[in-house]
Structure 1
Amino acid sequence: MTRTLIALFVLTFMATSAVPAMAQQNTEPAADADNPVVARVDGFEIRQFDVAVAFERLPEQFRQAPVAQVFTQIVQQLVDGQLIVEAGRKDKLEDSPEVKAQVAEFERVAIQKSYMQRLIEGELKEEDLRAAYDETIANTEGPLQVRASHILLESEEDGYDIIKALEGGADFAELARERSQGPSAPRGGDLGYFARSQMVKPFADAAFAIEPGSIGPDPVQSDFGWHVIQVVDKRRQPPPSFEESLPQLEQQLTRELIATHMAELRAGAEIELFNLDGSPVEGPAKQ
């Protein structure tokens, strides 16, 4: 067996075998009817929920397959894991310094995670998120946008023919549907609203120079062909909605909440800092 296969086996085994104890300790158990027993090892029950948790902990390449396809293998890994736990307990490994150190570290990390989660859930309220939205986002103005339609043609001569027809009273949308070679033709040439940076420079320069309700006096050439441009409207890009801004707001307020709370914890603790060589850091001891 190659080193890569050995490493993969260990990774997979560790991902699945540790699940039952963690799942039973940290998660509300489902009703027996919805969470049937899938194996017993000397009376220790392994349930369907354990299999689901183990599946989610597998490396991504293994999660490409349906759970049913790897169900038997996962159950066997969970059984093996429990057998190893029992063997280790017979050897009193739970009393070994190595295991105690790992348990202590796991507990420390779990406490940190649980503490911060409870802090955020308790303090991060919708009214604060909405207040932050109103203060920082709701009244902001985005870049200038143009709403325009265009008719894409092969030649400059074709462009002037279209402009002449429009000056004679032809309907822009109808001509776009009949003559335009661009993908917007079925929509009458309508491109919707766009910022200057969203279009190639010759087209953007021309469109932003045309007044709303007007048609450009000349065809405009770009890498795509010749454009006859009609500008319908100009506006400032509206701010994103509260719902669209929610992930950003949650991150922002979470950072602020944690920073404020950590400052309070630091203010109430005596912290001594040392350099890499063990000498004390100069300055006040309390941080």
Structure 2
Amino acid sequence: MIAPRVFFLISIFLVSLFGCDKLSEFKEYFSSKPKQTATSPAVPAPLPAAPASDAALPDNVLAKVGNWTITIEAFNDRLGKLKEAVPEYDTNSLEAKQLVLEELIRQQLLVADAEQAGVAQQKDIVDAIAEFRRMLLVREVAMKLTKGVEATEAEAQEYYDKNKEVLAEPAEWHLREIVANTEVGAKEILIEVLKGSDFAQLAKERSIGKTAANGGDMGFLAEPAPDKSQEQMVPDFMLGEIRGLDAGGISKVFKGPDGFYVIKVEEKKGGKTREFSDVKDDIVTGLTLLKQQQAILNHLTQLSQQMDVKINEKLLGDK
């Protein structure tokens, strides 16, 4: 397991670079690693003593590296953010504060060295800083525009009442099919089925479908879903005809790609309407996101009317 002091120093570094989100991923990665019997990684040596300086620091300045300074207020703000990211560490202890300051000074030494070497002027660095600034500005504006924009429980209830069918549990049907060349032929078969003739036997004798030899058995097929393959789902042309049928139900005659169809539902699973209390939180979350998105789009519409936006469509087609 990674040594606590090393993890603490890396935590400071990650928070300074990426914020709390990346640190949580880092913690999860190391916490899932099996324990090692090998010797713990070496702890970084303390910073060498800086040359003595006759100039006293201002009262609120905690440290100075070249022209860079950090005030006690800015330092305490860093400690607060670190505590949010690593709650288990006591950032009030003197040792913790020394570790944080030590790491900040190390970082600044590297920054100063990079600037002197011209690294800060490299195109990839300049572009990355510009893109990061752009992302921060967009995020900040979006947060301000969407602050307080939330869906209410009443709006969630209204959405639920209008979309109960969509919110029902996914349904699966065990289906049998009979396919005929003509509509008249399919209607004759349907009449025989309704009179009590065995559906599977009629499928074997009179269906022209691919499943005829198997008594028209199509197996279990589900409603269309992203996690289902085409072979696992009810064909689109058939779904509307069988959706309202229960086990034992027979469809009316309808046209499909191979002729005229009659369908029997052998068994049905799922399809029950979920209670509002079971889906309320998900609906509120979804509606809130939609309202926030609309707030941003409305603002963008206003901005596009105020600013001159031009696009060279010809360049989009160039390869």
Superposition TM-score tier, normalisation by shorter sequence: 0.3 to 0.5
TM-score (norm 2): 0.35
